[in-house]
Structure 1
Amino acid sequence: MWLGDGTRKSLRIAAVMTVGTGGNGVYVTPRNAPGATVDRVDVSLAVGADATAVAAGLRDAVRASGGHVLTKDQWTEASYPETNRTTRLGLLLVLGIALLYTGISLANTMVMATSDRVRDLAVLRLAGATSRQVLRLVGGEALMVVAVGGVLGLLVAALNLLGMWSALGFLSVWTSIQMPWAAIGTVLGACAVLAVVSAVAPAGLALRRGAVGSAGARE
């Protein structure tokens, strides 16, 4: 490695930290970094220590040098700014387009599937089922399709997140996996409503033509 003055020097690795400290930098002893100032000190509380008293003491100690005392969350927020507005808008735009085409595909699939089953629905009417019973059956099947799709989607997402979590683990970055359950529930609810409407609407129109005529129609 090269020191700050350009001198090349070979150093011995004394230890490798399992848990990172917020960066991938190399830490050297004061002897190998003359003139370097301390830019951060990590403090952990002993068992039973008063956090308020410790924070007050640290503020008094660093006041003369202009230092600041921050909690872990405050330091993270100050050191790692959030995603800028342009990046967030771009992500929302791509996500919106994907959701739009997903909705179109779902509605088209349900309409085509129901239209191809007009004869089957008419046979159910001739067998004694009422129109409401047939429509409830169609709506229930649409909800089942959305439920199965949601479960499969969660499994794929879980496998993907597990792979990324394992890869980060090899870098000694262990973190918790957080799922946006509110957003997932909203999307599943919207898909359920869209699927039911797209399936029940053509089924209702088909049942209005009469069961006998629909049962004898060619598919």
Structure 2
Amino acid sequence: DVALADGADPDAVAAGLRAAVRDAGGQVRTESQWLRATRPHADRTTRLGFLLVLGIALLYTGVSLATTMVMATSDRVRDLAVLRLAGATRRQVLRLVGAEALTVVAVGASLGLAVAWLNLAGMWGALRLLSVRSAIELPWAAVGGAVAACAVLAVVSSVVPAALVLRRRAVDLAGVRE
């Protein structure tokens, strides 16, 4: 980086720098010229490859989330039966299960954003040490879409098994051992 002193002529400084680095094969560029020249350009094949890997990872994550929620709900058959025996309606129990699933997604999203922020803040600091000025930008639409998809998947994969279990009489379910 070259910083100009107060009152210095930018054209004269640039000409002096060009003369100084000419014999060594160096170049003098503005910050925007340097960024354009060094920015990686992803071609279509690379972009499709990234999207394929991302799609596989998201599919695996969705399957993991759904199976975890189904197993967690199935393990709570006695708890759901006790709620029914205590006077809760089937609808109230299902709303509780859905609210718990949304709470799990909210906590997971918050922790995920905290980890992402720490990672991005570290990269931002490292780039600042290299004199690269950049802003931390998150694709909020994509983050919101991912959280919404996880919320829908979590609610469906916990409420549906609970609804199927609650079809049976609560007295019969209370005796079920896990």
TM tier, shorter chain?
Answer: 0.7 to 0.9
Identity %: 65
Q: Tell me the TM-score normalized by structure 1.
A: 0.67
Distance 1:18 1:205, change over 3 A: farther
The root-mean-square deviation of aligned C-alpha atoms, in Å, is 2.7
Cα distance in structure 2, aligned partners of 1:152 and 1:141: 17
SS of residue matched to 1:101: helix
Partner in structure 2 of residue 210 of structure 1 = 169
Name the structure where helix makes up a greater proportion of residues: 2
Q: Tell me the TM-score normalized by structure 2.
A: 0.82
Q: State the Cα deviation string for residues 84-106 of structure 1 (Å, max 9, x = none).
A: 11111111111111111110110
Kept in 2: contact 1:135–1:203 (CA 8 A): yes
Cα distance in structure 2, aligned partners of 1:32 and 1:107: 61
SS of residue matched to 1:93: helix
Cα distance in structure 2, aligned partners of 1:32 and 1:137: 70
* Residue 189, structure 1, aligned to residue 178, structure 2: no
Kept in 1: contact 2:102–2:155 (CA 8 A): yes
**1:30 Cα deviation after fit:** 2.3
Pick from 16, 30, 33 the counterpart of residue 19 of structure 2.
30
Kept in 2: contact 1:146–1:195 (CA 8 A): yes
Partner in structure 2 of residue 3 of structure 1 = none
SS of residue matched to 1:128: coil
Cα distance in structure 2, aligned partners of 1:179 and 1:39: 32
Partner in structure 2 of residue 66 of structure 1 = none
Pick from 46, 53, 56 the counterpart of residue 97 of structure 1.
56
Aligned pair count reads 164
Distance 1:89 1:18, change over 3 A: farther
Segments of 4+ moved more than 6 angstroms: 75-79
Q: State the Cα deviation string for residues 81-138 of structure 1 (Å, max 9, x = none).
A: 7421111111111111111111011001100000000000011001110000000000
Kept in 1: contact 2:17–2:28 (CA 8 A): no
Kept in 2: contact 1:18–1:172 (CA 8 A): no
Letter in 2 for 1:172: S
Letter in 1 for 2:78: R
**1:33 Cα deviation after fit:** 3.0
